[in-house]
Structure 1
Amino acid sequence: MDVQRMILVGALALISYTAVLKWNEDYGQPAATASVAQTVSSADMPSAQPAANASDLPSTGAAASTTDVASSKPTNSLISVHTDVLDLRIDPHGGDVLYAALPNHKERVDTPAQPLVLLENNGSHTYIAQSGLVGTNGPDANADGRPQYSVAATSYTLGKDDKSLDVDLNTTTAEGVKVTKRFTFTAGSNLIKVSYLIDNQSQQPFSANMFGQLKRDNAPDPSQQHGMGMRSYLGPVFSTQSERYQKVTFKDLDEGDKFKQDSTGGWVAMLQHYFLTAWIPAEGDSKQNTYEARKSGSNYIAGFVEPAVTVAAGQKGEISAGLYIGPKDQDVLRTVAPNLNLTVDYGWLWFIGQPLFAMLKFFHSIVSNWGIAIILTTMVVKGIFFYPSAMSYRSMAKMRKFAPEMQRMKEMYGDDRQKMSQAMMELYRKEKINPLGGCLPILIQMPVFIALYWVLSESVELRHAPFYGWIHDMSVMDPYFILPIIMGCTMFLQQRLNPTPPDPMQAKVMKFLPVIFTFFFLWFPAGLVLYWVVNNCLSILQQYIITRKIENEGKTA
């Protein structure tokens, strides 16, 4: 009978495993995106929809110029720029960045030839970086629309031996003011310097405010993997004097709320899973930038406006800001702007997450494998909690040892619960047993578990990081659910070392816990499941040694 039961259970488990694999194949994987050739081809063509209209541009309260904007040799082709870390398309109409791909970060681990596309402007998704000059004489506030820039070429490439690359977009106003919008790229850097060089050869002073903004629709985060669990924040964030890290959610903007604040220094960013874009105004001792978030049609806009800069007649001037387009690399973000590293958000347990990440980075610098780094980190964490875990396992071992005595008391006192409780408490006191000790290992590990979940989910360094065998990405779920099944088996073995609960219903619930946990862990990141498997194995070893020692104490006495 037992053999037949085992065969039926095994067959049911195999069928369930196959069904889950098929479900994950059909619904659990992100849809494949367009090929690189298709993406680049569509980006090279001018957008069918205008990148910005009058309602998108910030208002400064100053009267806009009504003079015509003239330019020599304008182009309608998007300007392509290639560096070692960026692949951009710039619209000569206004000079907005309509497309940005990151060659060093792949869209998916199984499509190594396809770079991750962060900015794009097409029929299905709008996410662009805009900038311009508004105010009294700003060409972007002109009554006839945004300026049409001319360029020397429509394709630029930063050479292997080049340290920097300047891409100049030129226009001249009817009054004779020459405006050059310069994008400066640096080798190995995702930070772009966007400058406005103003040569005022007119007879009147030129006054304008530089603005930079990020425009995005409410499309889902394309870099967020499908699966169960907590989601990374998607939306605008600001850093100002009053609050160094402040989220302004899409929901807030949908409900009509607007964010507007003046601050010296600061920045504005649009976050998604692992990546961000950010505008960082140039620092000034007393310069008050205006930061704002609002909804325009179906899109959300977050940006800044600098104070007006005046260039006297016959003089030259420059206004600039930084545009970061890239990954959430804490070490890099610290150098770009103060507090920008806070965009790597480890949640309310950040004070645990940051040391865990530092430990992971340390071990990775030695072993060059994030999976091994997770195993070594688990061993360190287990060592930190060794003593409280040992106390708990000792208490459970004693409960297991004295289980026959507890059963005898239950038979002796029958339904007299008061006497039964008194006898049990006396036994616990005499043998120094903590009946709640079994919960301690899980309770003390839960904060570490949650913090590590955020570390694995938020740290771009672990994105597409392979382990061994079938695990090609530690930041997403095990494609064949092997690690969760191993985790469930280790949890079952650990449960066998625990004393059987006296309550039959509680005992049945405990037997199902490994199955329930296995189901929940199916869609957790493989790195997190690896942590739990290693932790369970170390716990089993520790608990087994302590249990054998406690049981042998009575035999040798």
Structure 2
Amino acid sequence: MDVQRVILIAALALISYMLVLQWNEDYGPAQQQATAQQQAPSVSAYSSNGSSSELPTAGAASDAHADIPQVANPADQAQAAVSANSGQLISVSTDVLQVLIDPHGGDIIQVALPKQESALNSGEPFILLEQNANRTYVAQSGLVGRDGPDAKKSGRPVYQAANASYELGDQDSLNVDLVLTQPDGVKITKRFVFNRGQYRVGLDYIVDNESQEPWQGILFGQIKRDGSADPSQQTSMGMQSYLGAVFSTAENNYQKVKFGDMDEERFSASSQDGWVAMVQHYFVSAWIPAPGAEYSYQSRKLNGNYIVGFLSPSFEVAPGQSQSVSATFYAGPKDQEQMEATAPNLKLTVDYGILWWIATPLHIILTWIHSVVGNWGLAIIGITLLVKLALFQLNAKAFKSMAKMRKFGPEMQRLKEQFGDDRQKMSQEMMKLYQKEKINPLGGCLPIVVQMPVFIALYWVLMESVELRHAPFFGYIRDLSQMDPYFILPILMGCTMFIQQLLNPTPPDPMQAKIMKLLPIIFTFFFLWFPAGLVLYWLVNNILSIAQQWLINRQIEAGDTKKA
């Protein structure tokens, strides 16, 4: 009968495993991502739809985030229609960026990252910024104010470029100039500066005033994004990375402004220096104005799009003079080294939450281990070993307490049976037993509470590290940031949890004991869709805990044998 039961349970487990595999193949994250890629239009579907209504006004501070009034005569509207459909998209390629610039306004309407594949072994670059029928995420910039060309009633200006495509090639730096010559003789050059190996793009507006009157303008930079889901968020369960806007000012160096917050009210702040960004899992885009001035930062929602940006102070160019204003645009992975070199506090977009003070050194150690072993899976195992070693004494106290509880479990059960429903008498006898054998029933709680912040911080380090994206381990695990396709690691993790329970004392309460028996199954189910790197961490941690608990149990049992 027992053999038949084992065979039936094994067959049921096998069938369940195959059903989960098939469900994941039909409806899992990989299939959803493939469907989304099939629905995404090609580059030819990109169209220029930026209108002046989406741009900030350059009036008084109280109007800093109002929209430009759509008041134009028919002739202006006709000219705007011609301008909106003229000009070929300008492509720029470097070793780390593939960019499309729309001459209409000079906006960046696509950023692709050739060193970050859209999917593992797809050969296609991950598209961070794009503008098509399914998604809007673009970086806009321009000059508004009294004489700014982007404030004209006729709409955004159309710039001229010497070429339709630019390549960095063997150069270390590449300048892409967009030129606009106004009827009054003012020549405006919008220059994008690209550098080898860098995700930041320099922006310079050079105003050459050959007119007879002073020229005044205000620089703005803004990021426009719809409320669509994060395409780089690859986990469907567990804690999710932040998706939304972030402002950094002198008053608050890292302030999140969620899309829901923008639905209710507009954000507005003034600050010396600072930056504004759109953040998602693994990737970030940000505008950083040139340091040394007081800027106005703002957010607003318009036509279903969320817009965040900055306004510079007004500047004036005298007749016959030339002047430039500048900013930096960052678009790429959350590379902490590059972000730190780009702007103060920008690397805070790698969000470890309130445990950043633990997570930051853990990330440094993880990166160092990888530099030695050359494999991120081995680096995860290495940092798990180091964390376990650092907490060895705390864990030892907890495990010794549990070992003693396990040793005297039969005696506790005897007292329970002896005194039955007389809980007061049973509690008194239990206390006598604890005092006699020097057992602290809460002895294992404090060490576990102390080490939980470390475990959670390491969880976030693994979640937020873009280095783990598409990083292989061994064998069939080719992406530590994705779920285990065959669920082998989660199943092994569940088995190790079950073994841990066998080494620990059985709870005296029957209901609690049943719940504890279900925990390995529950945790296994939750971990099925967790990134393989996170499951690897928990699996290794469980194995080390089992080894330590087993050794402590043997030591206590050996001590009792010697006494006998």
Mean alpha-carbon deviation: is it higher for 514-523 or for 433-442? Answer: 433-442
The SS at the match of 2:398 is: helix
**1:80 correspondence with 2:91:** yes
Give the C-alpha shift of residue 527 in structure 1: 1.3
Partner amino acid for 1:147?
P
- Residue among 515, 518, 523 paired with 1:517: 523
Query: 1:399-435: per-residue Cα shift (whole Å, max 9, x none)?
Result: 2222232233233323322221111111111211122
What's the counterpart of residue 129 of structure 1? 139
Give the C-alpha shift of residue 34 in structure 1: 8.5
Give the C-alpha shift of residue 555 in structure 1: 2.0
**1:157 correspondence with 2:167:** yes
The SS at the match of 1:209 is: strand
The SS at the match of 2:310 is: strand
Q: Distance in 1 between matches of 2:121 and 2:559?
A: 56
What's the counterpart of residue 269 of structure 1? 277
Mean alpha-carbon deviation: is it higher for 433-442 or for 291-300? Answer: 433-442
**Count, aligned residues:** 548
What's the counterpart of residue 198 of structure 1? 207
Query: 1:459-483: per-residue Cα shift (whole Å, max 9, x none)?
Result: 1111111111111111222111111
Give the C-alpha shift of residue 176 in structure 1: 0.6
Give the C-alpha shift of residue 130 in structure 1: 0.4
Mean alpha-carbon deviation: is it higher for 230-239 or for 414-423? Answer: 414-423
1:75, 1:151 within 8 Å by CA — same for their partners in 2? no
**1:536 correspondence with 2:542:** yes
* 1:86-97 matches, cutoff 5 A: 86-97=97-108
Give the C-alpha shift of residue 145 in structure 1: 1.1
Q: Distance in 1 between matches of 2:562 and 2:45?
A: 85
Partner amino acid for 1:170?
V
Q: Percent identity?
A: 60
Residues 1:320 and 1:86: Cα distance change in structure 2 (over 3 Å) = same
2:46, 2:131 within 8 Å by CA — same for their partners in 1? no
Partner amino acid for 1:262?
S
2:52, 2:150 within 8 Å by CA — same for their partners in 1? no
What's the counterpart of residue 59 of structure 2? 61
Q: TM-score, normalised by structure 1?
A: 0.94
- Residue among 469, 489, 509 paired with 1:503: 509
The SS at the match of 2:160 is: coil
**1:101 correspondence with 2:92:** no
What's the counterpart of residue 296 of structure 1? 302
2:503, 2:550 within 8 Å by CA — same for their partners in 1? yes
What's the counterpart of residue 446 of structure 1? 452
1:397, 1:551 within 8 Å by CA — same for their partners in 2? no
Q: Distance in 2 between matches of 1:11 and 1:259?
A: 58
The SS at the match of 2:307 is: strand
What's the counterpart of residue 558 of structure 2? 552
What's the counterpart of residue 228 of structure 2? 219
1:476, 1:526 within 8 Å by CA — same for their partners in 2? yes
Residues 1:234 and 1:307: Cα distance change in structure 2 (over 3 Å) = same
Give the C-alpha shift of residue 386 in structure 1: 1.0
Q: Distance in 2 between matches of 1:543 and 1:45?
A: 61
Partner amino acid for 2:276?
V
Give the C-alpha shift of residue 151 in structure 1: 1.2
The SS at the match of 1:80 is: strand
Mean alpha-carbon deviation: is it higher for 399-408 or for 79-88? Answer: 399-408
2:235, 2:483 within 8 Å by CA — same for their partners in 1? no
Q: Distance in 2 between matches of 1:417 and 1:35?
A: 61
The SS at the match of 1:146 is: coil
The SS at the match of 2:508 is: coil
Query: 1:279-334: per-residue Cα shift (whole Å, max 9, x none)?
Result: 110112xx211111000111110001111111110111111111111111111111
Q: Distance in 2 between matches of 1:517 and 1:271?
A: 30
Partner amino acid for 2:2?
D
Give the C-alpha shift of residue 230 in structure 1: 1.4
What's the counterpart of residue 251 of structure 2? 242
1:392, 1:438 within 8 Å by CA — same for their partners in 2? yes
1:452, 1:528 within 8 Å by CA — same for their partners in 2? no
* 1:34-433 matches, cutoff 5 A: 42-44=42-44, 47=47, 50=49, 52-61=50-59, 76-111=87-122, 113-159=123-169, 161-255=170-264, 257-284=265-292, 287-433=293-439
Partner amino acid for 1:238?
F
What's the counterpart of residue 64 of structure 2? none
2:397, 2:447 within 8 Å by CA — same for their partners in 1? no
Q: Runs of 5+ in structure 1 lacking a partner?
A: none
Query: 1:487-509: per-residue Cα shift (whole Å, max 9, x none)?
Result: 11111111111122223222222
The SS at the match of 1:381 is: helix
Q: Distance in 2 between matches of 1:26 and 1:20?
A: 10
1:84, 1:187 within 8 Å by CA — same for their partners in 2? yes
Partner amino acid for 1:251?
G
Give the C-alpha shift of residue 162 in structure 1: 0.3
Q: Distance in 2 between matches of 1:352 and 1:411?
A: 47
Give the C-alpha shift of residue 46 in structure 1: 5.3
What's the counterpart of residue 8 of structure 1? 8
Mean alpha-carbon deviation: is it higher for 292-301 or for 393-402? Answer: 393-402
Residues 1:488 and 1:128: Cα distance change in structure 2 (over 3 Å) = same
1:353, 1:451 within 8 Å by CA — same for their partners in 2? yes
Query: 1:248-282: per-residue Cα shift (whole Å, max 9, x none)?
Result: 11101112x00111111000111111111111101
Q: Distance in 2 between matches of 1:380 and 1:313?
A: 66
Q: TM-score, normalised by structure 2?
A: 0.93
Residues 1:494 and 1:130: Cα distance change in structure 2 (over 3 Å) = same
Residues 1:322 and 1:357: Cα distance change in structure 2 (over 3 Å) = same
1:371, 1:467 within 8 Å by CA — same for their partners in 2? yes
1:96, 1:128 within 8 Å by CA — same for their partners in 2? yes
RMSD of aligned Cα (Å) = 2.4
Q: Distance in 1 between matches of 2:39 and 2:12?
A: 45
